[in-house]
Structure 1
Amino acid sequence: MRRLLLALPFALMPLAAAQAADEHDHDHEHGSLGAHVHGVARLDMALDGRTLELELDTPAMNIVGFEHPATTAADKMTLALAKETLLKPHALFSLPEGAGCTATKQRVESTLFGDKDDDDHDHADGDAAEHEHSEIHGHYQFTCSAPNVLNKLDLTQLFKSFPATQTIQVQLVTPKRQMGAEVRPSNPVVKF
């Protein structure tokens, strides 16, 4: 399954390029799918058999409102509450009940949570370079008893939990299709 998620960006590269070009034409501020843009997150979704995996990548600004290491009690509390929320996948992602999906794994990582930066980049320029653009990565795995019932993903709760997130660029691969979509709080459901 991990290979499928790793291959997802390559499988959808033509779509991403077309979408990025289209976004550039309409709003030069939103760049390509891989760019660090406040308000914009990316969600990769892959269904393989009964296993559904979701990978969320978002600037920390969208989740906690800052990208610097937490030094104040308020910032530390904000980080702790955000991590707690992010570790509850059923509270973020609404899947059709008939699919019988149960969260089996969830992991959230960020340098802000004290996790090591998994980049291979050398941050020789100091801490400022390392924390200039902090990201939060979430990995969620579900086992679904009736995966053929999966036909939509509702992100309403994710938008409500983290209102600074204004756009989620979704890429998905299922046995039946590959697609990309852009969802917003006003239209938070991806149908596939």
Structure 2
Amino acid sequence: MRRLLLALPFALLPLAVAQAHDDHDHEHGTLPAHEHGVARLNVGLDGNTLELALESPAMNLVGFEHMPGSDADKAKVEAVRKQLEQPLKLFGLASSAGCKEDQQELESPLFGSDPAAKHDDDDDDHDHDHAHEHQHSEIHAHYQLTCATPAKLTQIDLSPLYKAYPQTQKINVQLVGPSGQKGIESTPGNAVVSF
């Protein structure tokens, strides 16, 4: 699945999230690329289409970043993968909005070469980052949903995500919706983000 809807708005989005960070959370004016306990969520609402793109260090979700070797590690990765395959259980959306999942894409070096995993054709970029990902593995989940009544979608509750993955302490959210663009820092105690 191509990230057309999210790609342009977030490429143009000023680093509003940086304003939400404390000075100690970033150095030299840039956001950290990989920080344990911190995830990123891009949300785009355009007409009836809602897109959610979650990027998180594997440590936040599975508790480790190495390639799963033991049966216990493999079981943990599979359990997390199954959770991520159910976005409507991880993201609290108003039921009155009538959102249904259309497409999803889950990516991580931890998922291996499972045919159920849908990978982009960017093999050159993947190979370039391959060694780095083994040391600092990330999990990316991208969802496209269609909402029957998008006007009823005024907020997203991230509480279920925090409960499923308690090692996640903060989610930097970038929203693009009918009321414009904004960056929000979410925490377990402040888990509801509004459009």
Return the TM-score normalized by structure 1: 0.87
Cα distance between partner residues in 1 of 2:9 and 2:32: 13
Aligned counterpart, 1:70 = 68
Aligned counterpart, 1:140 = 143
Q: Percent identity?
A: 52
Is the 8 Å Cα contact of residues 17 and 172 (structure 2) preserved in structure 1? no
Cα distance between partner residues in 2 of 1:93 and 1:180: 18
| Counterpart residue identity of residue 169, structure 1 | N
Q: Name the CA shift for 1:104/1:184 in 2 (closer, same or farther; >3 Å).
A: same
Cα distance between partner residues in 2 of 1:8 and 1:95: 22
Aligned counterpart, 1:186 = 189
Aligned counterpart, 1:101 = 99
Q: Number of residues paired by the alignment?
A: 186
Is the 8 Å Cα contact of residues 12 and 178 (structure 1) preserved in structure 2? yes
- Cα RMSD (Å) of the superposition? 2.4
Displacement after TM superposition at 1:33 (Å): 3.8
Q: Name the CA shift for 1:155/1:32 in 2 (closer, same or farther; >3 Å).
A: farther
| Counterpart residue identity of residue 96, structure 1 | A
SS class of match (1:13):
coil
Displacement after TM superposition at 1:123 (Å): 4.6
Q: How does 1:1-192 map to 2 (within 5 A)?
A: 2-19=3-20, 22-23=21-22, 25-28=23-26, 32-33=30-31, 35-115=33-113, 118=122, 120=125, 123=128, 129-192=132-195
Is the 8 Å Cα contact of residues 39 and 166 (structure 1) preserved in structure 2? yes
Unaligned runs of 5+ in 1: none
Is the 8 Å Cα contact of residues 172 and 183 (structure 2) preserved in structure 1? yes
Return the TM-score normalized by structure 2: 0.86
4+ residue segments displaced more than 6 Å: none
Q: Name the CA shift for 1:28/1:141 in 2 (closer, same or farther; >3 Å).
A: closer
SS class of match (1:63):
helix
Is the 8 Å Cα contact of residues 8 and 171 (structure 1) preserved in structure 2? no
Q: Name the CA shift for 1:113/1:146 in 2 (closer, same or farther; >3 Å).
A: same
Cα distance between partner residues in 2 of 1:41 and 1:78: 19
SS class of match (1:171):
strand
Which range is displaced more, 174-183 or 112-121? 112-121
Displacement after TM superposition at 1:105 (Å): 1.6
Q: Name the CA shift for 1:59/1:14 in 2 (closer, same or farther; >3 Å).
A: closer
Unaligned runs of 5+ in 2: 114-118
Is the 8 Å Cα contact of residues 169 and 181 (structure 1) preserved in structure 2? yes
Displacement after TM superposition at 1:140 (Å): 0.8
SS class of match (1:70):
coil
Displacement after TM superposition at 1:7 (Å): 1.8
| Counterpart residue identity of residue 70, structure 2 | T
